[in-house]
Amino acid sequence: MEVINAVIAALVCLFIANNNVMSRLLVENCGISKDDPYVPNIFGGAKTNIQENPWMVLVWSSKPCGGSLIARQFVLTAAHCVSFEDLYVRLGDYETLDPMPYCLNNHCIPKFYNISVDMKIVHENYNGITLQNDIALLRMSEAVEYSDYVRPICLLVGEQMQSIPMFTVTGWGETEYGQFSRILLNATLYNMDISYCNIKFNKQADRSQICAGSHTSNTCKGDSGGPLSSKFHYGNRLLSFQYGLVSYGSERCAANVAGVYTNVSYHREWIFNKMVQFKPTGHTTFWLSKLVGQTCNITDIIRNIELMYNRIVYEN
């Protein structure tokens, strides 16, 4: 067994050396969006185009929420969005209230499609009062095929996320008119000191959460679970990475009021471990990304051999 472990460790080191950048992403070819040439820019608006957020998921039940596609068979959302009733997720969605394909200038987005959820994985330390650890994974009953309209957002493995001043939040939640948006919207929010949200909501938020807000925008009912993201260059490509997800905020949903977002970066280890623990049947390849960013120390690698054997590679 020691010889086998040494051989595997050497192969891991070789893999890391030859795949230094891409192996640090949970999913290759993630976080790619496109400017749709058929959709005009809207000055001063907050509408997205139909290819801008292909990882956006509508988590559908009696209480609709948002979510993000992070792998072929897993969606990330808020724990408070998960109930005992049956859930399904919509992918490739853009205009939620119109069952027909969205068309402009003879160019149409395919009709959204629904997939049932066969497993709900809520963080075991989720607190429904303080809303700490407000995070959950939804395992879909079937794997999705990636396209320009359905593609995962990026999560970094084995590397710290960049500290950034602002985020993008996306959802179909209530607007200033008191109605759910039929078109996917986004807004820019600014990273704020967590102490501001502690005072505002009289809760003890910590580093497992993010405080963010804006003078002009805010999240509201129906946005819960949706991604808080940012773009930055990684491996010579501009990719979208998920930093957080919508957790809670002001009941008034007014601008100039901060909100609290679950820190996805803080919970990455939990996410990866649960994906392994509840991996769909049929996945047999190794998931080596976790080891990248660590020193290629044989003892450390052998210590993780058992974990490696059960990890998954979610390839494009």
Residues classed as catalytic: 80, 134, 224
CB 240 within 8 A of CB 154: yes
SS (H, E, C) the chain: CHHHHHHHHHHHHHHHHHCCCHHHECECCCCCCCCCCCCCCCCCCCECCCCCCCCEEEEECCCCEEEEEEECCEEEECHHHCCCCCCEEEECCCECCCCCCEEECCEEECCCEEEEEEEEEECCCCCCCCCCCCCEEEEECCCCCCCCCCCCCECECCCCCCCCCEEEEEECCECCCCCECCECEEEEEEEECHHHHHHHHCCCCCCCEEEEECCCCCCCCCCCCCEEEEEEEECCEEEEEEEEEEEECCCCCCCCCCEEEEECCCCHHHHHHHHHHCCCCCCCCCCCHHHCCCCCCHHHHHHCHHHHHCCCCECC
Beta bridge partners of 66: 58
